Each structure stands twice: as structure tokens, then as C-alpha cells.
Amino acid sequence: MESPVTGLRCRTTGPSFLKPIDTKRKAIEEYEMVAVETEPLSPTARLFHDPTFNVHVVAIMATKTRISPQPVKEKLELTLLKHPRFTSLLVVDEDNSADMKWVQTKVDLEQHVIVLEVDESQLTESPEKFVEDYIYNLSKTNLDKSKPLWDLHIINVKTRDAESVAFLRVHHSLGDGTSLISLLLACTRQTADDLKLPTIPTKKRRPTPSGYSEKEGSFRLWQYLGKFWLFINMILNTIVDLLMFLATVIFFKDTKTPMAAPPNSASNGRRIVHRIINLDDLKLVKNAMNVTINDVALGITQAGLSKYLNRRYAVGKEDKGATERNNNLPKDIRLRSCLIINLRPSAGIEDLADMMEKGTKQKGGWGNWFGYVLLPFKIALRDDPLDYVKEAKATVDRKKRSFEALITMMLAEVLVKIFGAKVATAVTVRAFSNTTVCFTNLVGPQEEIGFCGNPITYLAPGAYGQPSALMINIQSYINKMIIVVSVDESAIPDPQQLLDDFETSFNLIKDAVVEKGLVKNLK
């Protein structure tokens, strides 16, 4: 069957060059510019337009009903097209390539909404593989810069989990992952009440004691001393983390493992696959071990990567086993993740919805507000599965006592302003290239939501164009936790096996919690 990907600009050349799909492309001169509304790109946004860091975000939505294109276009007119980034062209000054601006234009939705009707009887592969290959082929292409940098693909094919699959592809310069997912969610409504926005769980602040007494005064004194010591500790940790970040940029590399990215990995296509696990089971482990959901998620990741690498190191050699004492892993593997931290105060779904529906200005700004944290993974097999979560918690607790994310974001902005985007991009790419994994964690709605009247069964965000051969995105949705991996197949040829290892690791951790009696008296 002919490839479903037709009219897109290919990211690589050679024998695998894709036949372009017809998206009725217009030349930039054909777009009608709106009366002089321009805005310069932020320093961070400019990083994403370097050829070595040309990152695209892909938000996959699987729905319970077949998607009709016309209602979707009508809904987008009232929502997404009310956001200035999605109605702006990227304009670069011919004499100064560093001078980049967003220029408002009128959008022709026919250029941005691509619909694929699939006759399932004609498929030579499973529907799931068809969708997976479609996205893989698309990841070899760049968004057309002669029009606003986004498109929506609708694939009407029945898969194991859904009746249709749609995915929104957006250039990362339009906003960070949290902003883009929040904007997408602001275009949805709860299926139980189509007037209500999705509900995103937030951290609850502990109530502060009121009143005053001598005992409270003494207690508060110790509180102030404790906070002062914590601040000093955070400053010292930040200095250490900053020095480690600079060393990583200059020379300090991860151990070369079978998962290491090959040269020029950023220009390779990405295989994006996912696995759904039960969020209630994660909460059971969280409550039993008195940790956070993030601690459990990172523990699962650490365990899964250890299992996967143990198998890969045994290829072509004698298999020594898969226990703590006998295994195939080299000692002291250095494997770190570039953990992307959102620095926004909140998701801002209500503000985004108001901005699109009422034309109000969004509070808190828009764009890329995130920093990087270098998070080390302990790659080793453990006989007690709970050790993975305990080790992950210790690592995360240490990283929480640091301003590393804030400092790295400020560093990127300063580098762009002083030395230009080329230098700042080179520094960022070095940080990603000298580590092994890119990791993000996004909180999703607590109730079922609908996209243009179509109930969503799962959300799976991914990305391509990053230097890391492995990117892991964890997304919660209702009672589901979706683990999404975006892989360069030249480094990780079997991403489904990696997902199997994540799922197996989680089941072992959950079973260990039950066997040790940690869940009694817990609901």
C-alpha cells in the first residue's frame, strides 16, 4: 500500500525520500497579512529554529467515535484560531537571520487539517501499525514555514483502543509542552457536561497555623532557622548542579550504551509508541510507600531501562542472568536524563479558554517557560523491586533542593541575548547529546473529555527532532497513566520491548507492595 504521508517537506534526503502529500500548499505571498501585528520570537523560541534542534511536538488523541472533519474545522475557528501563535507566520529578516518575528495572518484551515479515510479491508498490516507508521513517516518531515507552524491530522481507522485517531503537530517554538497541551485541553470539554472545562489536579498547600503563643513563637524561630538552612543548602546544591551542567556541555558524557544516540540522530525519524497502565495502581504504590506519583513513575523508568539494557548487553554474548548478583550490566553505568521542568505557576486552561472565547489577554504569558535538570538513573538490577522507587525518590528529593531548572532557563536566555541563538543552541544540543534520555511528565484531566464532540479514550504526547535517541513522556488521563516513548530506531530497534519492560517492572513493584503487606488499611 502506498505510504499515507503525501505533501510534506522531508527532513532527510536519500533513498527513503518521501513522496509529498498534497496539502494544497500556498506560497507565503498568497496569505493575507492582518494589519501589522508582529511580535519578536522569545530567546528560547529562537533555539528551536536551528537545524540541529528543530523540535516538533505531537499530541495524539484517540477517540471513541469516528471524527467528522467539518465540525472539527468549525470548532477550531472558534478556539485554536483565536490564539495568536496559531494564526502567525514566522518571518525572518533577509539581511539579519537572527531577527525573527511572528506576523499575524488569516488562516485557511484546508491547509492545516489533513483527513485520511482508511478502508480497513485494504490494510496489509494492523490498524495500530498503520497509524504508528503514518506518524513515523511524518516525523521525517518539517512543518511548512510558508504557513503557521501547526497542522491537525485525522485518521479515521478503527484500532484496538479507538474508533479514530487524531494528532496535533506543532512546532516547539510556538510554546512549551505544558502550554501546548493546556491549549489543546482548553479546546475540549467534559463529556458529562459540555459547558465545563477539564479539571487538572493541583497541589494543595498545607494550612498555616493562626494565632500566637510563646510556644508557637519558639516553634516559628526553629522554622525560620530551618528555612534559612534549606535556602543555604539549595544554593550549594545549585552551584554543584550548575558545575555539573557546564561539565556535561563541555566534556562529561554518559556511558556509551546500546541506547546511545548515533551521530545526527535529531534528523532521523522517530517511532512513537505508547503503553497504558492503571493510574489507580500507581496511587496504590504511592500511598503504600509514602512517595509521590513522580517517584513511582521514575522508579518504573529506572527499573525498565535496567531490564532493557541487561537484555541488550547479552546480545551475542553469554547471558549471565537477570538478578542483582548475576547480570549482564557493566558496573557503574552513567546514564542521565535531561528532565524538562515546567516553570509556569499553573496550567492556565481557564485563562486560555477565556482568551479564545472572549478575546481576553492570557494571564501569565505564553511561550517556552521551562528549564532542564540532569537526573541520574541508577542502572542496576534489584532483587527487591521497591528499591527502584526508593532510589528514585532519593534522587528526586535531592534535585528538588536546587534551582537548577531556573538557572538553566536563565542561562539559555542570556546566551541567546549575548552570543546569539547559534551559541545557545549549540550549548543545549551538547547537553542533550551528552546525556541519554529526555524525560517529561504531564498531568492530564481527571474526567473524560471530548474533542469537538468526540470522547477521548487516551492522550499520548510525543516529540521528534531532539538529539536524544530516547524520549519518555508520561501523561495521566482519568484513571490511566500513558507511557509514551519516541525512539530513534537505529539505537532502539524494539520500542515495544522497552514498553514491555516498563510494564513488567511496574507489575513487580505493585506485587511487592502487596506481598510485603504495605497496602493493608489502605483504600
Q: Is the pTM of this model over 0.85?
A: yes
Does the annotation mark 172 as catalytic?
A: yes
pLDDT surpasses 80 at 364: no
- Catalytic residue of the set 49, 83, 171, 172: 172
- Segment 89-98, tens digit of pLDDT: 999 887 777 7
pLDDT, tens digit (0-9, with 9 covering 90-100), for 339-348: 888 776 654 6
Answer CATH for 38-190 from 3.40.190.10, 3.30.559.10, 3.40.140.10, 3.20.20.70: 3.30.559.10
Cα–Cα distance measured from residue 336 to residue 25, given in angstroms and rounded to the nearest whole number: 41
> Is residue 119 a contact partner of residue 396, using CB atoms and an 8 Å limit?
no
Residue 355's pLDDT is 60
Domains 38-190 and 229-516 share a fold: yes
CATH 3.30.559.30 fits 229-516, yes or no: yes
Q: What is the pLDDT of residue 316?
A: 86
Q: What proportions of the chain, in percent to the nearest 5, are helix, strand and coil?
A: 40, 20, 40
The mean pLDDT value for 397-417 works out to 91
SS3 of 281-331: HHHHHHHHHCCCHHHHHHHHHHHHHHHHHHHHHCCCCCCCCECCCCECCCC
CA distances from 138 to 155, 158, 236, 369, 446 (A): 13, 20, 45, 27, 31
Residue 514: other Cβ atoms inside 10 A: 13
The 10s digit of each residue's pLDDT in 159-196 is: 999 999 999 999 999 988 777 888 888 888 899 988 88
Percent of the chain exceeding pLDDT 70 equals 84
205-255 residue pLDDT tens: 555 444 445 556 666 777 888 888 888 999 999 999 999 999 999 999 999
Is a pLDDT exceeding 70 seen at residue 487?
yes
The full set of domain ranges for the chain reads 38-190, 229-516
Chain-centre distance of CA 489, in angstroms? 19
pLDDT bucket at 501, cuts 50 / 70 / 90: very high
Coil, strand or helix: which one is 229?
A: helix
Q: pLDDT category, 7, cuts 50, 70, 90?
A: very low
